[in-house]
Structure 1
Amino acid sequence: MDHKSPVESTEPVSRPAGWMYKSGSIGKFSTSWYASPRIQLGMVAFVCFLCPGMFNALSGLGGGGKSDPSLADKMNIALYSTFAVVGFFAGTIVNRLGVRLALSFGGIGYTIYSISLLVSEHKYVPGFNIFAGAFLGVCAGLLWAAQGTIMMSYPSEHQKGRYFAWFWAIFNVGACIGSLIPLGQNIHVKENKTVGDGTYIAFIVLMFSGACLALFLCDADKIIRADGSRVILRKHPSWKTEIVGLWETIRSEPWIILLFPMFWSSNWFYTYQQNAINGAYFNTRTKALNGFLYWFAQIVAAVIIGPLLDVERVRRSLRAKIALVALFVLTVVIWGSGYAWQKKYTRDDVNVEIHPEFKGWDWSTKGYVGPMFLYFFYGMYDAIWQGVVYWIMGALGNSGRKLANLAGFYKGLQSAGAAVMWSLDEKKLPFMNEYASNFGLLCGSILVAVPVVFFKIKDSVPVEEELEGTGETLADVLPPGAVESKRTGDEKI
């Protein structure tokens, strides 16, 4: 059986006239046209490099860079609460507005969030801080739904793992560079202090640049793949058709609900890792170093997992089963190892009001290497988890409309889970309880997803199946000549 995309071709194909469809060359190397999946995903990766990448670097310091995490906890509760609501419907909004405007609007929210943290250093403005968190939830819901649509629907079926790897690596380079900013500015700070104004200003400038970059993207209806095929969308979408489409996604495939626990768990562990480990136990410069290592580990893992998910020698349905089993084994090994670290201390042990003699660990402290590697592997695990979940969703279809809805479900439930976890942390849930909740949720959600991954993922999804209810025809999405070839039976679908 041919496991390649049904419309893939190695032959040159004609593209519409216009600058965005002209390919060029740099020396001996040819470059893709502007409206190609490769260029557009690269641009989206750099938008995320500058916006959520920098946000991740700031959050990775624990407490949003502040020595007291209380304010950041409250802002993140507001953030993920609105993110959960908007995220669930974000696919519908993105389908209506287009990916370009959704991504640019999303970048503005990250900028305002960082501005509010800077302002809070000089004036008590809790209302502005909470508003900034809630507004970022709205913006981030749209940004990540648009990003998920692009990453899952633009590439051909046999390239989805590689496109994830490419995106995730570039995105996390942003978080790595973002972590180097506070590291460089606090290289001599051995206490656990709030980062300086310069750190926040650098994040603000970079995030705003990302929002501007998003305006230069093409919308999905302009994209043409290397084989001449187009992204499957709905013709003339309206708010009504998109809202109905959201319901149709679940009604026609109710088994998708079995993936919801994996969606819920996918950001649950950030609070524990950032606040209970990095923010609680280490000093300022070491937190910045740990953050850098965490995001660098994500790049390493993405580069490994992406190509493995696309190995064409193994049928896609079998690859899906192997990936889920491997993810379960990694969960047991990595999170099981984390128990040895967590049993060393409690929340009270690192509370300077109770134990004023406690000083956060420095990278020069004897024994630091152990938790450093644990944190590194936690970063690798995050990338592997996200990569497998995105790949599973991408394997369920190729329609931009359907995958936008799935991305919305994913980010909505992911954010709802995160909101609950940030709320529990703000209420001072014991660190060991936070750890146990992560271990249990991650293992349990994998087991719940088994029926979907084992029985619903096909080696290829027929084009006709994707076109149902969109108003588009084979001629709208297949390259020239492919429709006639299909009718005569020359091409396998």
Structure 2
Amino acid sequence: MKVHSSWRYTSPLCQVVLVSFVCFATVGMFSAVSNLGAGGTQSITLSNITNAILYALFALTGLVAGSFNNIFGPRVTLFCGSLGYALYLAALWVYQEKAQDWFLIFSGAVLGMCAALLWTAQGCIMLSYPLESEKGRSFSIFWAIFNSGSLMGGLIALGINLKAGGLDAVKVSTYIAFFAVIMVGVALTWTLLPPNRVVRTDGTLVKIQKSNTVREEVYALLSTLKNKQIMLLIPMFFASNFFYPYQGSIAFKSFDSSARSVNGVVKSVGQILGALILGFLLDKLPMQRRNRGLCGLALTVVFTIVSYSWGIKYQIPITRATKWERKISYNDAAFAEPMSIFILYDFGDAFYQGLAYWIMGAITNDPFELARFAGMYKAVQSAGAAVAFAMDATEVPYINEIAAVFGLMMFSFPFAGMVIWNIRDSNYEVEKVVYVDEVAAENNNTIAVLETANPNAPAFDRQSSGSSEKKM
């Protein structure tokens, strides 16, 4: 059987790179604005209200986003999702000029629904397209490119900030730059191939089934809601974005605009490095898949304990009532300790998010099921973020916020460990795999599938897909 190049346009990794650049240009710009503190609005209250609504609708839409993806396909789902980011950046732009609170809040609500669609399609592509032996690398590639968008946006804001001497004088030019990049991301959604045209390196097709009907998706969604493994991951899903409101709020409280810009740049670098480390560990360690997952879990637990223990120690003297004569600047000696803590937060964030995605990808290879898993993940994750933003909006004491973040993350680890302990070394033996022996150009390049779930496929092909990994 012909082995297909890993980087051919029809390959999974090429499609993962494309969806990564979509998120680079859309979510990356949104993250860059958020990393400026207070969502770029300079009003922490308005930012918290907008984000609470955004994540609440994100959570509700996430429940059905997987079904939307399975009915309309990932390309349409990504396109619809990307439009929300353009609207939100436009609303921030208008807010800086006209101070229209209602439009910003409305755009946040729309973005919540759109983001659920975009992230569900992204999760489906990242988890179901690659081989089992490439899923850690798939996350690393995506997370690195996606956070490069945040890095670029942060550098744009930092450069303008340092040149103009503050954010207040340069907001228009900042948002024009961000908006232009987002529109490129919207256009890129149409470069993605439908799943039935994506061929893995071992010659297997990602999907040949027709899209599900609405009725089929309703029944399948109900089945997902009762999946024992997904239920055990609910605490991890809930905690996976719970820390962002606290981190953004304490950065806004402590840092001036230049320090926040530097923090945004360093945050993206930490996320990229963390993703690369985790991807290597989950794919390349010479042991069974379960043991690789447990190593990833151990690494995540260690970083969580170290970073939040240090963070709590630093946090204790800082309260909501603390008044600064002058906020910390990036060139102050006092900037070193909180910046070091934030770097540890960023590595731990990449480990936590990557591990959650990898676990879902280890449960199944079915793109329909993984789309529903991704939607469920984003729904529960966003519900947690909505609660966290609501807490911060009501000015819960900082020490209580960080304690809730730390406690939720630690609570989630034993349940994640239970799921990892029971994952198979491969799902290829129990799930249908479709092989392609030839691709014929019939009626506008229709793909002819000549071999379906062939139990007698050559040993080379099965090994290359990861189903015959050496037992350790």
TM-score normalised according to structure 1 size: 0.87
Matched, 1:262 2:236: yes
| 1:200-215 → structure 2 map (5 Å cutoff) | 200-215=175-190
> 1:461 corresponds to which residue?
427
Cα deviation digits, residues 363-400 of structure 1 (max 9, x gap):
22222111111111111111111111111110111110
| 1:408-427 → structure 2 map (5 Å cutoff) | 408-427=375-394
Matched, 1:224 2:174: no
Q: Does the aligned pair in 2 maintain the 1:191–1:283 contact within 8 Å? A: no
Which sits farther off after the overlay, 191-200 or 370-379?
A: 191-200
Q: Against the structure 1 CA distance between its residues 218 and 227, is the aligned structure 2 distance closer, same or farther, given a 3 Å change threshold? A: same
> 1:76 corresponds to which residue?
51
> 1:429 corresponds to which residue?
396
Q: Does the aligned pair in 2 maintain the 1:327–1:385 contact within 8 Å? A: yes
CA deviation after TM superposition for structure 1 residue 489, in Å: 9.0
> 1:100 corresponds to which residue?
75
Residue from 308, 319, 333 that aligns with 1:335: 308
2:9 is paired with a residue whose SS is coil
Q: Against the structure 1 CA distance between its residues 237 and 291, is the aligned structure 2 distance closer, same or farther, given a 3 Å change threshold? A: same
* Paired residues, number: 450
Q: Does the aligned pair in 2 maintain the 1:87–1:411 contact within 8 Å? A: yes
Unpaired segments ≥5 residues, structure 1: 1-10, 15-22, 24-30, 350-354, 468-473
Cα deviation digits, residues 203-247 of structure 1 (max 9, x gap):
111111101111121121211112110114643411111121111
Which sits farther off after the overlay, 181-190 or 73-82?
A: 181-190
Q: Against the structure 1 CA distance between its residues 302 and 426, is the aligned structure 2 distance closer, same or farther, given a 3 Å change threshold? A: same
> 1:471 corresponds to which residue?
none
CA deviation after TM superposition for structure 1 residue 193, in Å: 4.9
Cα deviation digits, residues 236-294 of structure 1 (max 9, x gap):
4111111211112244x323201011000000001111112x11111111100011001
Q: Does the aligned pair in 1 maintain the 2:435–2:454 contact within 8 Å? A: no
Which sits farther off after the overlay, 302-311 or 140-149?
A: 302-311
> 2:258 corresponds to which residue?
285
Q: Does the aligned pair in 1 maintain the 2:148–2:268 contact within 8 Å? A: yes
The residue type paired with residue 275 of structure 1 is S
> 2:470 corresponds to which residue?
none
> 1:38 corresponds to which residue?
13
Which sits farther off after the overlay, 46-55 or 322-331?
A: 322-331
Matched, 1:275 2:266: no
Cα deviation digits, residues 401-425 of structure 1 (max 9, x gap):
1111110110000001001111111
Which sits farther off after the overlay, 321-330 or 394-403?
A: 321-330
Cα deviation digits, residues 134-159 of structure 1 (max 9, x gap):
00011100000000000000100001
Whole-angstrom CA distance in 2 between matches of 1:241 and 1:187: 55
Cα deviation digits, residues 187-206 of structure 1 (max 9, x gap):
15666858511111111111
Q: Against the structure 1 CA distance between its residues 414 and 236, is the aligned structure 2 distance closer, same or farther, given a 3 Å change threshold? A: closer
Q: Does the aligned pair in 2 maintain the 1:192–1:360 contact within 8 Å? A: no
Percent same amino acid among aligned pairs?
38
Whole-angstrom CA distance in 2 between matches of 1:130 and 1:65: 14
> 1:167 corresponds to which residue?
142
> 2:220 corresponds to which residue?
245
Whole-angstrom CA distance in 2 between matches of 1:66 and 1:483: 54
Q: Does the aligned pair in 2 maintain the 1:231–1:400 contact within 8 Å? A: yes
Q: Against the structure 1 CA distance between its residues 152 and 104, is the aligned structure 2 distance closer, same or farther, given a 3 Å change threshold? A: same
Residue from 159, 165, 171 that aligns with 1:196: 171
> 1:360 corresponds to which residue?
327
> 2:441 corresponds to which residue?
none
> 2:355 corresponds to which residue?
388
Matched, 1:444 2:424: no
The residue type paired with residue 455 of structure 2 is K
Whole-angstrom CA distance in 2 between matches of 1:215 and 1:238: 23
